Amino acid sequence: MSITKTEIMEQASRRSSELIELTSQLIRINSENPTGSQRPVIDFVKQYLEDSGIAATEIAANDEFPCILAKIGSDEGYSIILNGHVDVVPAGDLSKWEFDPFGGEVTEKRILGRGTSDMKAGVAGILFAMRLLNESGAELTGNVRLHIVSDEESGGQYGTKWLLTEGHADGADACIVAEPTSNYTIEIGQKGSNELILKAHGTPAHGSLGNYKGDNAILKLGKVLSHIGELHEIQGKFPQEEAQALKNSRLIAADKLETPGIENVIDHVTASVGLISGGTKLNVVPDYCEARVDIRLPIGADEAEVEAKIQSIIAQSGALDVEYEITWKATGNYTPINAPIVQTVKKHAEALWHIDVLPAYQWASSDARYYREMGIQTIQYGPSNTEGIHSYNETVDIEDVLNASQIYLMSLCDLLGVN
């Protein structure tokens, strides 16, 4: 008789100390990006998989930032990718830490260190789930593929995006990215980040005559910039079936960001002037100024509508000769709330945590979008204490780590025919 899901879960509970130790081991390997080397952590992951009886392959676009691929199950059937990054942001000023960021210390309730939440606990959770599923000998009606990357925190060009252009996600049906989330949120969509450049030309003159002579490019651009926030009036368009996800997302944004009206970032365009440069010298009326604006599109936003609005802002500012360039890089993207991967993870997360778990959209973006762009149903769900991420004193709760890994494992069982 073949092994049951219940028996696999009993194994996971019995061996939970292995998962805690695995997380701690990953923390003890410094993998700061951009300052550190990714070689030791990638070697460790490869060895862990091989010790689990799983063949692992290393591939790299850049030898300093290798990726690990692995697969268990059959070639046919439902195919699920597990994705995680092993690089971490630099620890920064060590005197601001209350513990050694690379000590991997385990307390009664927590694991401490750089990368615990973002996202070595998540990586440990998917590695452990894959190991248990493989060692169980359960027959799968599909397969699990592993994508471990070492370049996410510093540009990411050697990580997930590269793996996908090399064809390593071809044919997959679903993907779980184990990036940190709240335990009550499954991230199922995000906004698209784009760049707008505004350029103003003027006429130079001596600074002493500035009120009378010359045409000041900085002031001209300022007239447009003071209205650029009006792009926020543009709304996304969400299919009727996704109404609940939109409602959840607005609720979560209001709750977490604690600023009146901020839930509108979910379903409206946002525009943030991030960079400006202009002028050559204090005593010269500037003849050139340029600004770069971070434009985020919600799901269903119309690029042509955004462009028309930019034109109308320029026209109304009176600075008619201000030019613009937009680089469209990403649209809002989502996985349907009723997708099997969403509903399965939701069911198991709710059963373990005894809370409502809300599928929702992020206001920012991540590697998940590359999978979604390929039509792969993708979610993010991972263990974390969000307050330490990219900051000092990063930690993760042991309960979070154990539950997340169990949720991955049970979801894989359900989606791959292990009952």
Tell me if the bond preceding 119 is cis, omega within 30° of 0. Answer: yes
Residue 263 near residue 250 (C-beta atoms within 8 A): yes
Which listed range, 1-9, 117-125, 244-252, 288-296, lies at the site for Zn ion (CB under 5 A)?
A: 117-125
Beta bridge partners of 187: 360, 380
- Nearest residue (CB) to Zn ion, 189 versus 382: 382
Residue 60 Cβ vs Zn ion, minimum distance, rounded to whole Å: 20
The answer to the question of residue 118 lying near Zn ion (CB under 5 A) is yes
The minimum distance between CB 119 and Zn ion, in angstroms, equals: 5
- Residue nearer to Zn ion on the CB measure, 242 or 367: 367
Site for Zn ion in 178-207 (CB under 5 A): 179
Q: Which residues contact 86 (CB under 8 A, 6 or more apart)?
A: 26, 31, 38, 41, 42, 45, 115, 120, 123, 148, 149, 150
Q: Closest separation between CB of residue 178 and Zn ion, Å?
A: 9
Provide the minimum distance between the beta carbon of 87 and Zn ion in the complex, in angstroms, as a whole number: 9
Q: Is 75 exposed, middle or buried (0-12, 13-18, 19+ CB in 10 A)?
A: exposed
How far is residue 26's CA from residue 49's CA, in Å, rounded to a whole number?
A: 14
* Selected range binding Zn ion among 155-163, 172-180, 213-221, 272-280, rule: CB under 5 A: 172-180
Single residue of 41, 56, 111, 119 touching Zn ion by CB under 5 A = 119
Q: Is 26 in the site for Zn ion (CB under 5 A)?
A: no
**Nearer Cβ to Zn ion (151/179):** 179
CA dihedral for 313, 317, 318, 320, sign (positive or negative): negative
Q: Please say which residue, 159 or 298, places its beta carbon nearer to Zn ion.
A: 159
* 3-class SS of residue 233: helix
Q: How far is CA 356 from the centre of its chain?
A: 22
Contact status: 87 vs Zn ion (CB under 5 A): no
Q: How far is the CB of 162 from Zn ion (least distance, A)?
A: 17
The count of other CB atoms within 10 Å of the CB of residue 340 is 16
The C-alpha angle 414, 359, 395, rounded to 5 degrees, equals: 90
Rounded-to-integer distance, Cα 87 and Cα 78, Å: 29
Instruction: Kindly indicate which of the ranges 113-121, 156-164, 215-223, 327-335 contains the residues binding Zn ion, using the contact rule CB under 5 A.
Output: 113-121
The number of residues that bind Zn ion (CB under 5 A) is 3
The maximal CA–CA distance of the chain, rounded, in angstroms, is: 92
Residue closer to Zn ion, measured from CB, 147 or 250:
147
Stated as kind and residue range, the H or E segment containing 366 is none
| Nearer to Zn ion among residue 121 and residue 252 (C-beta) | 121
Binding mask 242-261 for Zn ion (x = CB under 5 A): --------------------
Strand partners, 128: none
351 or 364, CB closer to Zn ion? Answer: 364
Could you tell me which stretch among 30-38, 111-119, 399-407, 409-417 binds Zn ion (CB under 5 A)?
111-119
CB nearer to Zn ion: pick between 119 and 140: 119
Cα–chain center distance at 328: 19
* Cβ at position 366, least distance to Zn ion in Å: 7
The nearer residue to Zn ion, 119 or 127, going by C-beta atoms, is 119
Work out the burial of residue 318: count CB atoms within 10 Å of its CB; fewer than 13 is exposed, 13-18 middle, 19 or more buried: exposed
Name the residue type at position 350: E
Residues that bind Zn ion (CB under 5 A): 118-119, 179
